[in-house]
Amino acid sequence: MKTAKAQVKMFETIAILVVFFFLLGIGFMFYARIHSASTRAEQREQSVLKAVEIAQIASHLPELEYTFNNDPKGYIDFYKIDGANKTINENTAYYFTLFGNSRITINQTYPEEKSWVIYDLPRGESSFLTPVPTLIYDPVGNRKNLGIIYVRTYLQE
Amino acid sequence: MKTKSQTEIIGLVIIVILFSLAILFALFIIAQKESASLKQDYTHKELASNLLRAALQTTTDCRGLEITQLLQDCANDNQGGIIYCEAKDMYSCEYANETMAVLLNKTLIPLNKDFELSAELEGDFDPLHVSRGVCTGEKISSSPCCSIPTDAGILNIRLDICN
């Protein structure tokens, strides 16, 4: 009688331990999933911040920006675009430190549509686009044309 | 009796643990959504104000004037504008409206975004109104970015981009 009671108690303890470890296992699995998802979200957030930073750098790049009497005016000089494109392509290693894995395109949308790719170093499939509206100034014709800088940033996988 | 109460306690503990896990999961989902909308808001806000600022300074084919100058003329006259644009046989108000529609459509249609552009002058005069689609949900506004001084008062221009 006493042995049977002890056995029941032992089974009870074992059952409690099994349930405890089962719940512990579920808890660990859940924590691991949350941790990996939050790490991915953090990486993506960092990439977004980097994209905004790249867009800011690109729109105020001295190689592109129109200046008058050494005063930067905040818009792109139409006649600097081809020169900047050549400089950037000849010094990719230097510009990689500024732009990383991204593609920067300048589109003129008004009056005529034109497009220039000034930097292109893709990596992987996952990317997102940051559009930055700007003006493209033609100092010869004294015209400000509407343009948009597209920064496509590739996510660090 | 003792075993029964123990079983009940274990059941209670399981319920509490499951409930806590559900709450944690819900919190995690909400936190992720907030972070995603934060970056979207930032990009939209910048897009709206930068686009409006750039569009207002764009040179048009109407006597080489900027949109801002056409809107100033439009607001001063209150009858459609004094400046006549020969290129399109229009006065400044109509020309500014049409050019802004072209600029915004060319920029925002490729990004698949609807928008509403409006201008308000003291005295209920609305010289500028351009839109594409209807913003039913959330929208990001450019204001307070662009105000133009005119003889008739301050012309406040606002661009809303639909989310």
In a domain, A122, yes or no: yes
Q: Give the torsion sign (CA, B75, B77, B83, B89).
A: positive
Q: Tell me the per-residue pLDDT of A85-105, one tens digit each, with 9 for 90 and over.
A: 999 999 999 999 999 999 999
- CB-based contact A135 B58, cutoff 8 Å: yes
- Residues B108-120: what's their mean pLDDT? 89
pLDDT band with cut points at 50, 70 and 90 for residue A52: confident
In a domain, B73, yes or no: no
Backbone dihedral angles phi then psi of residue A132, each to the nearest 5 degrees: -125, 105
| Residues from chain A contacting residue B17 (CB–CB below 8 Å) | 23, 27
- Which residue range is the domain that position B124 belongs to? 2-59+94-162
User: Does residue B75 belong to any structural domain of this protein?
Assistant: no
- Inside any domain, residue A29: no
A80, part of any domain:
yes
Report yes or no on A3 lying in a domain.
Answer: no
**Structural domain includes residue B66:** no
> For residues A95 and A121, what is the distance between their CA atoms, to the nearest angstrom?
10
Residue A144, in any domain of the structure: yes
CATH number at residue B106: 3.30.1140
Q: Residue window 58-87, chain B: list those with CB within 8 Å of chain A.
A: 58-59, 61, 64, 66
ipTM of the complex: 0.74
Percent of all residues in chain B with a pLDDT value above 90, rounded to a whole number: 29
Higher pLDDT, A31 or B100: B100
Structural domain that includes position A119: 47-154
Q: How is residue B140 written in tokens?
A: 């990001």
Among A110, A114, A142, most B C-beta atoms within 10 A, so best to mutate, is A110
Say if A22 falls within a structural domain: no
- Show the tokens assigned to B127: 């010289």
Please write the tens of the pLDDT for every residue from B52-68: 999 999 999 999 999 99
Whether residue A131 and residue B47 make contact (CB cut-off 8 A), yes or no, is: yes
**Mind giving me the DSSP string for chain A?**
-HHHHHHHHHHHHHHHHHHHHHHHHHHHHHHHHHHHHHHHHHHHHHHHHHHHHHHHHHHT-TTTEEEETTEEEEEEEGGGHHHHHHHHHHTHHHHHHHH-SEEEEEEEEESS-EEEEEEE---SS-EEEEEEEEEEEETTTTEEEEEEEEEEEEP--
In a domain, A39, yes or no: no
Residue B83 in tokens: 């400046």
Number of domains chain B contains:
1
Instruction: Determine, yes or no, domain membership for A111.
Output: yes
Contacting B residues, span 82-111, partner chain A, CB-CB under 8 Å: 102-103, 106-107, 111
Tally the domains of chain A: 1
Whole-structure pTM value:
0.76
Return the pLDDT at A93: 93
Alpha-carbon distance A42 to nearest alpha carbon in chain B (angstroms): 10
